[in-house]
Amino acid sequence: MQIRDAQKLAWENKELKGFNTTDVALEFGLLNAETAEAFTAWRKGLPDLAEELADVFLYLTAVAQMNGVDLDSAVTRKIEKNTGRTYERNEHGALIRTSAS
């Protein structure tokens, strides 16, 4: 499934079920809560990590939809941009970007 298709289906489900489709701040908060649940599942080795990560994705698509962002295109552009970037470790071991893109 393409990200674009998932975004559309997730949005249609939100509308059909009467979930939040207008309050961007609330949706960011819910996205944050789902991210915390995914972290907890990972940290505790719970069997529902995949489902929690899927929830993070679905809330992210909702934030994108509320803001008119085609997440599929945005992710493609970002991956292309990241591919051209180069990094080197500094004296403290942190990766520092060495290219302009």
Complete domains list, the chain, with CATH: 3-97 (1.10.287.1080)
Q: What is the DSSP string of 49-91?
A: HHHHHHHHHHHHHHHHHHTT--HHHHHHHHHHHHHT--EEE-T
Distance CA 90, CA 72 (A): 34
Q: What is the pLDDT along the chain (101 residues), one digit of tens a residue?
A: 999 999 999 999 999 999 999 999 999 999 999 999 999 999 999 999 999 999 999 999 999 999 999 999 999 999 999 999 999 999 999 999 999 77
The reported pTM is 0.88
